Amino acid sequence: MTLGVRLTLLTVGVVCLTSLCGFLGEMVLVSGEESPSVHPAKVFAASCSTCHGERGLGGNTSWVNPSRYAPRIAHGLSTRNAFLEDRYRLIIRNGSYYAGGFRHAMPAFGASVLSDTNLESLVTWLLYAPPLGGSNSQTGVPPPARPKGREILVEILDEAPWFQDDESDARDPFGDRRRVVLSEGEYIKVVNRGKTWHTVTNTQVGVDTGFIGYSGNLPNQDTGYFYLEL
């Protein structure tokens, strides 16, 4: 189990971020309920792109295990392929599989982190071309749609202060980088600058980014981020 930082969003007119140091495994679904549906492009940008590339075209080293290269996973197929669907489900749920065994180049994304609904959406989106999926055989997958409005950047770190905003939230009267005060028409882009899997979650307001990987693994690509609209 990876030790990480869990960020909790509290909303009472403003958005406050507080740090709780704990196991990522604590991100369980409340009362066994299915987590809200998340567009696969957002899941991919947060959890998959940091190794497989911002378009899913592969050829990059894994930041979890630099001795391994992440393969292409965006294919844009025109017909269903049950074998590949099952293989994608197996690897996503259990981690990377090489030569008869599971390895640590890619972690397992269990049902408490990626719901069955979001898993199926991700597999279909990666494997198939529109209208069934979202992938292109030449260019891979598109980035998630950027929300309308002004962006507030929040960076997750591996050490104190653990997270900080970019000081562009003009409504914050104290200029506190560990608190985000959103104005109408603003959204948050959460970027993981740490070399640990992190998440932002609050079950009370229905926020759960899932795992966000290390954005610095591919410095010339936009990876390891999640758009939050509250």
CA–CA separation, 119 and 149 (whole Å): 29
| Phi, psi dihedrals of residue 196, rounded to the nearest 5° | -140, 150
Residue whose C-alpha is closest to residue 106's, from 125, 121, 124, 87:
87
C-alpha radius of gyration, the chain, whole number? 17
How many other CB atoms are found less than 10 A from the CB of residue 104? 12
Using DSSP's 3-state secondary structure scheme, residue 43 falls into: helix
Low-confidence ranges of the chain (pLDDT < 50): 1-34
Strand partners, 184: none
DSSP string, 92-132: HHH--EETTEE-SSS----TTTS-HHHHHHHHHHHHB-TTT
At residue 3, the pLDDT reads 29
Rounded Cα gap, residues 216 and 176, in angstroms: 25
β-sheet bridge partners, residue 22: 4
What does DSSP say about strands 186-192 and 150-156: parallel, antiparallel, or unpaired? parallel
**Range list of H helices, the chain:** 40-43, 49-52, 82-94, 116-127
Per the CB < 8 A criterion, the answer to whether 193 and 215 are in contact is yes
Structure-token pair, residue 199: 């998440």
Nearest to 3 by CA among 210, 197, 160: 197
Tokens of 205: 């307001």
